[in-house]
Amino acid sequence: MIAKTKKYFQDIQNEWTKVSKPEWKEVRGNSFVVITATAILIAFLWLVDGADQLPRWTGDSKEVTDLVTPGFALLAVLPLAIPFIFSRLMDNWKFSIVIGLIPVTVAVVLHLTAGGPVTGFGIAWLRSLFL
């Protein structure tokens, strides 16, 4: 009985040495991504909860020149800011450029096809669902 128990713990220790463990750089980078995403989500929900009206990302007309608004300027800075932050922490930071371009592309396409201002967060139905 004691020999089987001893062999059991030796097998566990032997298997533990075979398992690959992440390096500190990977853990730090992944933790930073999770903490940053959580902070952004918290700030987003805090702003949405207290907003009387949804923000306007573009102007009233269908013209391309009407895209120059403070809201759209914020969206246009995202593809530059996100890779700058993540290039220091992750090796695959180039993928973050695509993620940063998604809101800009959506705002431009909606502005040009809808013919009016682009407002809201894209999940406005959640707000109406819970309020």
Write down the domain spans for the chain.
Answer: 23-130
Identify the band that residue 73 occupies on the pLDDT scale cut at 50, 70 and 90. confident
CB 100 within 8 A of CB 78: yes
CB 104 within 8 A of CB 78: yes
Main-chain phi, psi angles of 119, to 5 degrees: -125, 165
Amino acid identity, residue 48? V
Q: Got the DSSP string for 33-74?
A: HHHHHHHHHHHHHHHHHH-SSPPB-S-SSS-GGGG-SHHHHH
Q: Is the pLDDT of residue 75 over 90?
A: no
The token pair at 55 is 């923000």
pTM of the full predicted structure?
0.41
Kindly report, residue by residue over 80-112, the tens digit of the pLDDT.
Answer: 777 777 777 777 767 777 777 777 777 777 666
Alpha carbons 109 and 89: distance in angstroms, whole number: 32
Alpha carbons 104 and 85: distance in angstroms, whole number: 18
Cβ neighbour number for residue 79 with a 10 Å cutoff: 19
Tell me what pLDDT residue 54 has.
Answer: 59
Tell me what pLDDT residue 8 has.
Answer: 93
CB 69 within 8 A of CB 57: yes
Kindly report, residue by residue over 6-48, the tens digit of the pLDDT.
Answer: 999 999 999 988 888 888 888 888 888 889 888 887 877 776 6
Tell me what pLDDT residue 14 has.
Answer: 92
Tell me the angle at which helices 95-114 and 70-86 cross, rounded to the nearest 10 degrees.
170
